[in-house]
Amino acid sequence: MAELSNAVDIANAVRNGSVSAVAVLDQYLARIDARESSIHAFNLVTREQARSMAAKVDADVKAGRDPGPLAGVPIALKDNMCTRGVPTTCSSRILDGWKPPYDATVVTRLAEAGAVFVGKTNLDEFAMGSSTENSAFGVTYNPHDTSRVSGGSSGGSAAAVAAGFAAASLGSDTGGSIRQPAALCGVVGVKPTYGTVSRYGLVAFASSLDQIGPFTVDVRDAAVLLEAMSGHDPLDSTSIPQPALSLQASLDRDVKGLRIGRITDLPGGSDSEVEARLAESFDALAAAGATIVDVELPSMKYGLTAYYLIAPAEASSNLARYDGVRYGLRVDAADTNAMYMATRAAGFGDEVKRRIMLGTYALSAGYYDAYYGKALKVRRLISDDFARAYQKADVLLTPTSPIVAFPVGAKVDDPLSMYLCDVFTIPTNLAGHPAMSVPFGTGAHGLPVGVQVLAPTLGESVMFQVAAHLERVAPGGAK
């Protein structure tokens, strides 16, 4: 059987009966067996569940039933998405032994579309990090160079696709946790508009920022997955009351006449080769008939500061539920308060504790207005700046990450340096807009570089239109 690498081709082959879902799964499991020990993309490989799902897809095809647009596609799930009866750890000891009694909405929707779930992927604990070095279960390594990080927090999901362990995967993005690892691993990663994909069943980090999105090998696959995942969900109070996104029609449109925004006051600090790839992306779009327009986002430089007050504040509230009483780890102690302290001390890692303390301080009496309240005002300024920029431009382009994948251990003792990896991705989360990372050539050490395409609220169609063109003209990888 010829190897099929992308989701659309796999689904088409399975639906027309030219290949079985079980045979496709066997290929992917063989790749996992060959390389997973050196990459550690997964916390759990769900072999038996995957075989059962693949067999059901094949039975539907044999019976003349259409299994769906993702028929037989092996998909990996970030281990902060609830899967009924399957351990969901958030890569934290505090959830030791917990098996959710329900599926996240995105899990249900992809299963209904015919997907086959191959496992739960590693992440920075509770999605707090930019390198997947903060996991309680060890580091996920970059498939392009296993001495380097895969990015984070969804590093396991990005690595799983880059290594060919899954045709696609799901991640969550609170401040860049899909787009940054996508860039570092050389795959496509999408953060949709806040509210277009249900968060029901996603273990919360920062509820006003979290959003689920796909990792794929190409832009078309990302469009198909997002179409299957999106749409209103009454179980999520923040879900936008609209039907599923329709994206595939935009992929083959040219970019002639589109206005592409170049941010003139973009924060500095990017590698020269990353900046060169961004310049080439503007040149490629201009050569195709797009107009490059200069825009300013003066408050963008404050995004990192505002984020690291808002996100930890929400995290300190969301993570208060992990107390050793209802589920997960429990460390016995002399009294209830001592048990709370002992459980949290043993169950949470250093980065999670750091952010809980930051957030608790920012929300405390006497400091709320000075820190959290001020950060919310900056969030509004960022949204207003984006609104003005989108009056002039249809989309904006930035680097996804200012640097390529860095060596494992290089930034673990310097949290501020680690946080700066998300300087270009965080503002979009604060505004609630869509953004995606598209592989666009390589940088230092021959490692992947991602260009980030940003669009206004519900602007996924034009965002995918531009991303598809960039994919076609990408250096060394024209499609």
- Tell me the catalytic residues: 78, 153, 177
Q: Which positions ≥6 away from 464 have C-beta within 8 Å?
A: 219, 222, 223, 247, 250, 251, 436
Closest C-alpha among 108, 81, 134 to residue 349: 134
Contact present, 371 and 359 (Cβ < 8 Å): no
CB atoms within 10 A of CB 337: 9
3-state SS of 110-159?
HHHCCCEEEEEECCCHHHCCCCCCCCCCCCCEECCEEEEECCCCCHHHHH
Closest C-alpha among 135, 132, 396 to residue 263: 396
Please report how many Cα atoms fall inside a 13 Å half-sphere around the Cα of residue 454, on the Cβ side.
26
Sign of CA dihedral 59, 60, 64, 67: negative
**Residue keyed to tokens 């209103």:** 232
The 8-class DSSP code of residue 360 comes to: H
CA distance 172 to 77: 10
